[in-house]
Amino acid sequence: MIDSTPAAVDALPETNPFAHPWELDLELPDFAAVKPADIEPAIRAGMAAQRAEWEAIAADPAAPTVENTVAAVERSGELLSRALTVLYTLTSATDSPELDALEESLAPDLAAHEDAYGLDKRLYRRFKSLDELVRSATEATPAQVPVDADGQVIDAATARYIRLAVEEFEREGVALTGSDADRLRAINARLTALSTRFATLTTKAMHAAGVANFTATPELATTTPHAARLTLLARSTGRGLSGEYDTRALVLEEARLRAERAGLLGYPHHAELVASESAARTGQAVGELLTRLVPPAMANARRDREVYAARMAADPDTLPGEIFGPADWLRYEEAERKERFGIDDATLAPYLELHNVIEHGVFYAAGRLYGITFHERPDLAAHMYAPDVRVWEVRDGEGDEAPLLGLFIGDYYARPGKHGGAWMDCLVEQSHLTGRRPVVINCLNLTKPEAGPTLLTWDNVITAFHEFGHALHGLFADTRWPSASGTNVPRDVVEFPSQVNEKWALHPQVIASYARHVENGAPLPESLAEKLRGQGAFGQGYATTEYLGAAVLDQAWHTLEPQEVPADVTAVEAFEHAALEGAGIDDALVPPRYRTTYFAHVFGGGYAAAYYAYIWSEVMDADTIEWFRTDGEGGKDGDLGLNREAGERFRREFLSRGDSRDPLVSYRAYCGRNPQIAPLLRRRGLN
């Protein structure tokens, strides 16, 4: 058995908070105890410790077994994981130039560290040997249970882990030798540095411009006159095109290096490499989905344009010669919404107070579906990185005697330096191997009022439910291997539980629980709730097209060969336009949700060639919502699926499984069928 105790921890002084495991409940990181100067020594010691652990595994003369190979790899890197969790949390959620610089400086070393594992042929051979053992046993007699050299049964989840590990080694280039292997290492190091720099610059550009992270900043809905909207949109779309936050050179180098890397690994382009490890499996499948959706979405957008253009022409604020364009969508769509449905953000806001939305909406729906309860822990919140961050313990049932499931952290407010948008992270991964329970965090970017309650827009409400769907995926994890736990699933599956969770925001019993007037507690009038539910596909012409535009751009950049990537930064905008036009999207009418120069998902995050994942996941989401309402245990007693039987089945068969089995198998286990696209087409008005 391999001793995985990280000897390099001894290199840290006792005063370094990373020298010992966290002492807070469930190993919640003690952010308040960490100084910036503590982090780099811990990361470097952690890398050294894990390299020593990997070397011991690779050099072990004993035959590979689940314990001396799989479990040993999964236990490795404790110190590094704890240190990186703190670094990445602080750089994404706080104003920390010192740590931003540290993240950038460490990027090449961390890439090299990952390559030390992924390109180690000895480690690959150990996993390959185990994989062949499993295959030979099951191919000879399908019912036979494979057993390793220690006599330990290799169960289905472990067999899947081993197979995926082999595929990952092969996909990451373990077979490369000589100059090709050296070039791959250099590319990986440079790509990590570039994406880290891109994320830093786009965050700074967003704060400098005073806009949201996406193109159609919400202020467009309330800005007059037309000229002011044009200025605001130009400020949003101009990010990254010039000046100190210019990201064009980074984009071109990333695209070129990703294309070169794909070629080294035997793929025609980066998008095909990404698809190969996703539920889509092929780039052709991704392309076929986008191609199917673009024409009806664009047709809907053009139809809506005629309605909004007429409304703008009749607006007394419109001056002669001003015509409807991309800066005007939100303003006149909101006006149309109010006239047609009698609702807008101003009408709804007094009923959407943050505390009520979270505790009596998001938590309430989760309790009805899954039986979990939430208990705030201000004592733990005192150890977080900002005073307005809240912490709850989550229990699997009612009362103090109910089993402790995990911790949930809510960081809801914007602050200087915080990345734009919203996200979920897992600060501690659930694992039966380590005995750990999950600690998850949701981050939003709400404007904190100087005084009084925090009132939300309807989009804010949906975002809160969405991100908590990710949190549930992490909290319900019930797997042995940490790397297969919770949200550690393919990119085009990870958005599925979050999109399902959005739909409970409009459930009659849920909205009645949280939508209460901030001054007198009166419930949202049922007539308004019905109008919210009755909007159907309203606004989907623009919303679907702007999303598809971003997905098309992502695929366009990542289906290039190295020599096809433009050499001149001035070609970026022309490339964008040509890619969108070629896909049938009129970007002069509907700009993409993210333009290339501030597309952080793709050039500063983990969604390169995978932004299509949201719509791919929505196919499963829309179909699952129909299942909740009608099939299985859904629709019980007219509750539209908001019941424990349906929730428990979804939790047991999908949310708890992580990547311990094929997500499609998990889907069929509760739904009884493969996902169908028809519900998505109906939802978005594309049929």
Q: Indicate whether 45 pLDDT > 60.
A: yes
Rg, the chain, Cα only? 25
* 498-527 b/e (C-beta count within 10 Å ≥ 16 → b): bbbbbbbbbbeebbbbbbbebeeeeebeee
Q: Where in the chain is the domain with CATH 1.10.1370.40?
A: 7-118+120-171, 349-533
User: Looking at residue 6, what is its pLDDT?
Assistant: 40
User: What phi, psi does 338 have (nearest 5°)?
Assistant: -65, -40
For domain 7-118+120-171, which CATH number applies: 1.10.1370.40, 3.30.1490.20, 3.60.150.10, 3.30.200.20? 1.10.1370.40
Q: What is the mean pLDDT of residues 382-387?
A: 98
Higher pLDDT, 1 or 198: 198
pLDDT of 162-212, one tens digit each?
999 999 999 999 999 999 999 999 999 999 999 999 999 999 999 999 999
Q: What's the whole-number average pLDDT of the chain?
A: 95
CATH 1.10.1370.40 corresponds to the domain 349-533? yes
pLDDT above 50 (res 1): no
For residue 5, name the pLDDT band (cuts at 50, 70, 90).
very low
Q: Please, which pLDDT band fits residue 636 given cuts at 50, 70 and 90?
A: low
Q: What is the rounded distance in angstroms from the CA atom of residue 264 to the CA atom of residue 559? A: 15
If one compares 382 and 138, the residue with the highest pLDDT of the two is 382
Q: What is the pLDDT of residue 9?
A: 44
Asked if 74 contacts 433 with a C-beta cutoff of 8 angstroms, the reply is: yes
pLDDT one-digit tens code per residue, 549-562:
999 999 999 999 99
pLDDT at residue 479, rounded to an integer: 98
User: What pLDDT is recorded for position 145?
Assistant: 86
Is-contact 213 307, C-beta < 8 A?
no
pLDDT on residue 322 = 97
On the question of pLDDT at 533 being above 50, the answer is yes
- Which long-range contacts link 29-38 to residues 24+ away (Cβ below 8 Å)? 29/82, 29/85, 29/86, 29/89, 29/427, 30/383, 31/86, 31/89, 31/90, 31/383, 31/384, 31/385, 32/382, 32/383, 32/384, 32/385, 33/383, 34/86, 36/96, 36/98, 36/99, 36/102
pLDDT-above-70 percentage for the chain: 98
Mean pLDDT, to the nearest integer, of 439-447? 97
Confidence of residue 2 (pLDDT cuts 50, 70, 90): very low
Q: Please list, in sequence order, all residues whose beta carbon lies within 8 angstroms of the beta carbon of residue 504, skipping any fewer than 6 positions away.
A: 365, 369, 465, 510, 642
Q: What is the pLDDT of residue 139?
A: 83
Rounded CA-CA distance 445/461 in Å is 12
- 633 pLDDT higher than 70: no
Give the residue-averaged pLDDT of 264-292. Answer: 96
State the pLDDT confidence band at 476, using cuts at 50, 70 and 90: very high
Would you state the pLDDT for residue 10? 53
pLDDT-based confidence at residue 678 (cuts at 50, 70, 90):
very high
Say what the pLDDT of residue 298 is: 98
Residue 7 has pLDDT above 90, yes or no: no
- pLDDT of 4 reads 38
Task: Give residue 599's pLDDT.
Answer: 98
For residue 637, pLDDT over 90 is answered with no
Where residue 634 falls among pLDDT bands split at 50, 70, 90? low
pLDDT band at 468 (very low <50, low <70, confident <90, very high): very high
User: Residue 679's pLDDT is what?
Assistant: 96
Q: Cα(first)–Cα(last) distance of the chain, in Å? A: 58
pLDDT, mean of residues 17-27 = 97
Rounded to 10°, the helix 121-140/156-171 angle is 140
516: helix, coil or strand? Answer: strand
* Spatial separation of the C-alpha atoms in residues 499 and 494, rounded to whole Å: 10
Q: How confident is the model at residue 301 (pLDDT cuts 50, 70, 90)?
A: very high
Q: What are phi and psi of 372, to 5 degrees?
A: -85, 155
Sign of CA dihedral 495, 498, 502, 507: positive
Q: Is the pTM of this model over 0.85?
A: yes
Is it the case that residue 632 has pLDDT exceeding 70? no
The one-character DSSP state at 374 is: E
pLDDT at 609 over 50: yes
Mapped onto helix, strand or coil, the DSSP state of residue 45 is helix
Per-residue pLDDT for 524 more than 50?
A: yes
Reading phi first (left if > 0) and then psi (alpha if -120 to 50, else beta), residue 521 is in: left
In this prediction, residues 219-248 reach a mean pLDDT of 97
Active site residues: 467
Residue 8: what pLDDT? 42
pLDDT exceeds 90 at position 3? no
Average of per-residue pLDDT across 438-459:
97
Q: Which of 501, 505, 432 is CA-nearest to residue 651?
A: 501
